[in-house]
Chains A and B, each alone.
Chain A
Amino acid sequence: MSRLQVVSGKGGTGKTTVAAALALALATEGKRALLVEVEGRQGIAQLFETEALPYEERKIAVAPGGGEVYALAIDAERALLDYLQMFYKLGGAGRALKKLGAIDFATTIAPGLRDVLLTGKACEAVRRRDKQNRYAYDYVVMDAPPTGRITRFLNVNDEVAGLAKFGPIHNQAQAVMRVLKSPETAVHLVTLLEEMPVQETADGIAELRAAELPVGNVIVNMVRPHLLDEDALRTAAGERRTAVAKALSQAGLGGARRGGLAERLVDPLLEQAAEHAQRVELEREQRAVLARLDLATYELPLLGEGMDLAGLYRLAKELRTRLAPGGTS
């Protein structure tokens, strides 16, 4: 199991939710996981129903079996000041830069620089060790930018190493790339069983592979149950109308004769069934597209009642059953 788990996907497919569930799943049984947010949306705080996260690692949840989930919302501006401090002991000049708006400039305008800081901070957490020389975190899970930006985001340090040809920035960039391109990292893509997110997933994987970044799994989120199988539907559409009306009537839903209550239910019920069948068929097509990607695919159910903490633990449990410890990713 890779120690840095990066979770990307089309916007709205459930990146933040899946990243959080994954952190909980990985922390199970006494492990320690750090959940990292890089988009500055405070989505993690919302999900865990806590106040906004500061730029500081803090414990936000206890996983089953005594594990711990820490969270960190990386603030690019603070990360830049840390970075300057780390490499240049810049104290005063750092403040001057800030006054001039250079930090603003660097963090919000030059996305490359921003991404350097964010990936750098995450990799630092991956490599960090405590006094006993054990890893500070067993796993780092990143709620990453969406599919359209993920390759560039992870690869930014390659660009930096190219722009700054030597010196500390160059070295730092290369160290980060070594982590990101190693089996220590796995990039997962979250998708729905719909055309656009599946297409984006396929494109995203091609890009990641071209950039030699380690692709992890496809996580299909919000999977709805199939309540009726196709065969039943086929029969329903045919000669069974009267029989269905009778069965409805028998179940206490009114008269089965023409114009009877049960009889009038038949058409709308069959129509809903036909729509269901169409959806099932579309999902089957999308599953086939995903299957061609040749990656392990996990499915997470749609929680019909909406997302809350209990739901998050449920998703974590689902993931847990699929993550064989020590298995490949």
Chain B
Amino acid sequence: MAVRSERLPVVDTAALLDLYERMVLVRLFETEAERQYKAARIGGYCHLCSGQEAATIGSVHALQDDDLLVTGYRCHGFALARGVPPAAVMSELFGRADGCAHGRGGSMHLLDVQRGFYGGWGIVAGQLPIATGLALALVRQERRQAVLCELGDGAVNMGAWHESLNLAALWSLPVVFMVVNNGYGMGTAVDRASAVPELHRRADAYGMPGERVDGDDLEAVIESTGRLLAAAREERRPAVLELLTYRYRGHSVADAGIAYRSKDEIAARMEHDPLVRTRERLREAGIEEATFDEIDARTEETLAAAVAAAQESPEPDVAELAAGMYAAGSGEQFARMLPGSPFGERDLVFAGGLGT
């Protein structure tokens, strides 16, 4: 901690306080999501990022407004960090029409195109080629923007990782592959899955910079992500950034998270807590205890409002089941096989919401 304080601040105190508040939002949002899941208002898989707040908030803070973000399924925190309103995230988790994916995506598939967030994706490493393609489009469109692609430590053993990194390096694409190394892919510890567990070293194979950073150190995350994104944006130099962090909860709400790791290990890692550490920095900068209490209270209010909004938001209309599936004009293409057409079978295709 002493060493840390000697370092030049990456952001000023006001900004740090603001980022701290966002971290609190993510932490308490996840606690609320777990509660709502257990009350059966949220279904499906629900992956919480508690413990990973510095990695989440710090990396997104380093994005410019027009940079793009793509993530895996553990994406509540990333959506909130990018500024998606908590009510829109909670409504999505409730499967309601006002959710940021219109109730169609749920916990794993949040998205907000206005904010450059191109989705939470559910197939491990599936988002890597997509991030590569977004970066390719940025180059083709001569836009000075970068793509930040989040993935887990488990994703680096998929073929898509190798193929994406090679393409990105070969074509000099503006993308940073950010490995959130939280120690485990489900119940498998990193060194039980990766022959070389220093995951950032894989970048060497593609002639890319690869860095490993303490992902629970907010300022270190901001500094490294910011620098690598700038190189991607300005010089079209892709990179790998490995953030070391820890997931407090199980893999998803359904996993207690204690069958494959010890309670001592979890307790030891909690000593490293990113919120506690950031609060420490703020105290050193003269922020009073009362301020932290105010932040907690304000956040609880925001979350209560988000839950209320989600509860009030209507369910999506069943008559619009196929909404969004195809582009406008496709209804005519399908007209000769839909129910109601001379040879259309009953129930085969839901006409409802097909683009007309």
A and B associate in one complex? no
Interface residues of A (CB under 8 A from B): none
Interface residues of B (CB under 8 A from A): none
